[in-house]
Amino acid sequence: MRSNNTVDEQIASIIAGNEKEIIRGISSDSPIVQLNALIYGTKNHVSDLKFTEGVKSIAQTSNVRFFGVPFKKYAMAALDVLKIQEYNGDDDFIQRLIQSEFQIV
């Protein structure tokens, strides 16, 4: 388990666009680090294979929720924005993320 300082520092690096931290964060055991990596990696169009495979894994297997929204929804939208897998569903949350290209924060 990481200390709060380390998590805060990693999230700050992710928000700043540090691609190395984004790639590391997408497979983090900390859900808040993982979600930040997913959001900012998508906003910054990170195309590294470790990142995109991490996003695919979240879309397929994650059971974590953030404010009641499954991480899978963020990941499905990310895959569309990153031009990896087009989303053809009708979920409003996913569609809004795609339309905004993750410009939510």
Q: Which of 57, 52, 102 is nearest to 79 (CA)?
A: 52
Hey, what are 26's tokens? Answer: 């997408």
Q: Is-contact 77 38, C-beta < 8 A?
A: no
pLDDT at 46: 98
Hey, what are 89's tokens? Answer: 């569903």
The residue extents of the domains of the chain are 4-100
Dump pLDDT digits (tens) for 2-60. Answer: 556 699 999 999 999 999 999 999 999 999 999 999 999 999 999 999 999 999 999 99
pLDDT at 1: 46
What does the H/E/C string look like for 40-71? HHHHCCCCCHHHHHHHHHHHHHCCCEECCEEH
Strands 65-66 and 69-70: antiparallel
Residue 104 confidence class, pLDDT cut points 50, 70, 90: confident
- Rounded to whole angstroms, the Cα distance separating 16 from 29 reads 21
pLDDT at 103: 86
Dump pLDDT digits (tens) for 63-84. Answer: 999 999 999 999 999 999 999 9
